[in-house]
Amino acid sequence: MKMGMVIDLEKCIGCRSCMVACKQHNAQPPQTWWNRVFTPGSHRHLTPPAKGVEFFLPVHCQHCENAPCEKVCPVGATYHAEDGAVLIDYERCIGCRYCMSACPYGVRQFNWEDPAKAHQRSEYQEQYHYGYPEDHRHEGRLVYMPLRPKGIVEKCTFCAQYRDKGELPACVRGCPGKARFVGDLDDPASEVSTMMKGRNAFTLLPEKGTKPTVFYLPPKAKEV
Ligand code: SF4
Ligand code: SF4
């Protein structure tokens, strides 16, 4: 199996519900966003719109097959799970941030917050309580904690804690435009494989050689 995601840019309306669902379900601290939606014209819009085509661009970890973050991690904390998702083992991460420098997509975030201290501040209490409430192990490794320690790096896991229960990632469930899909890229009959047929699916920054497993379907040209 090769886990992957397809995002249909024709259907993305830029509402940022996926950002909020991701943040809430994964208990991200203040200032941290694992998943962001960029507006056309933003310098973070990694694929400039072609003439006559403008689209919002959701970007989170691209779960690269050839992941530079994994290669530079000195303690083996970042690794490929058996299904191909790139995960971080919080029991190993030492917060050196080499992976943040290596990732060309800028999706990794450093946790500056001590959750115990943040917990005591009333305005943050709820933010540290929402989300999936329990620590979660995937293949024996600690890949999700609602109260993550200060000084670790974190990012999208394709919602490992939900997928292991047979549920879809939070962003997929939270998208009102039904623009996001996950599935097995190795299965030619899967929904994600079928959707990409005939749609000129593309990946972000292909020149970096990272081989992302997040694919985007281009929107149709419109008069702008
Ligand atoms: Fe690593 Fe960045 Fe690729 Fe995610 S997008 S696998 S963090 S290099
Ligand atoms: Fe966030 Fe989960 Fe979607 Fe990744 S798959 S962007 S962690 S909601």
Instruction: For residue range 186-197, list pLDDT tens digits in order.
Output: 999 999 999 999
- Report the residue among 2, 44, 64 best suited for mutation to probe ligand 1: largest number of ligand atoms under 8 A from its CB: 64
Task: Assess if residue 222 is contained within a domain.
Answer: no
- How many angstroms does the Cα of residue 223 sit away from the middle of ligand 2? 32
Task: Assess if residue 169 is contained within a domain.
Answer: yes
What is the spatial distance between Cα 95 and Cα 90, in angstroms, rounded to a whole number?
10
CATH of the domain at 180: 3.30.70.20
Q: Higher model confidence: residue 165 or residue 31?
A: 165
Task: Assess if residue 211 is contained within a domain.
Answer: yes
Task: Assess if residue 223 is contained within a domain.
Answer: no
CA atoms within 13 A on the CB side of 32: 25
Task: Assess if residue 128 is contained within a domain.
Answer: yes
Rounded to two decimals, the pTM is 0.93
Which domain, by its residues, includes 197? 3-217
Query: Domain total for the chain?
Result: 1
Q: Give the model's pLDDT for residue 224.
A: 47
- Report the residue among 7, 34, 65, 105 best suited for mutation to probe ligand 1: largest number of ligand atoms under 8 A from its CB: 105
Taking the CA of 85 as reference, the closest ligand is 1
Nearest to 104 by CA among 61, 143, 144, 168: 61
Name the DSSP letter for residue 149: P
Say if residue 183's pLDDT is above 90: yes
Location of structure tokens 């929107």:
219
Residues framing ligand 1 (Cβ under 6 A):
61-64, 67-69, 86, 103, 105, 107-108, 155, 210
Contact (Cβ atoms closer than 8 angstroms) between residue 59 and residue 204:
yes
Task: Assess if residue 150 is contained within a domain.
Answer: yes
Say if residue 31's pLDDT is above 50: yes
Count other Cβ atoms within 10 Å, centred on residue 185.
20
- Report the residue among 158, 165, 168 best suited for mutation to probe ligand 2: largest number of ligand atoms under 8 A from its CB: 158
16-30, 72-86, 107-121: which is most confident: 72-86
Task: Assess if residue 224 is contained within a domain.
Answer: no
Task: Assess if residue 33 is contained within a domain.
Answer: yes
Render pLDDT for 150-159 as a digit per residue (tens, 0 to 9): 999 999 999 9
Residue 142 main-chain phi, psi, to 5 deg: -80, 100
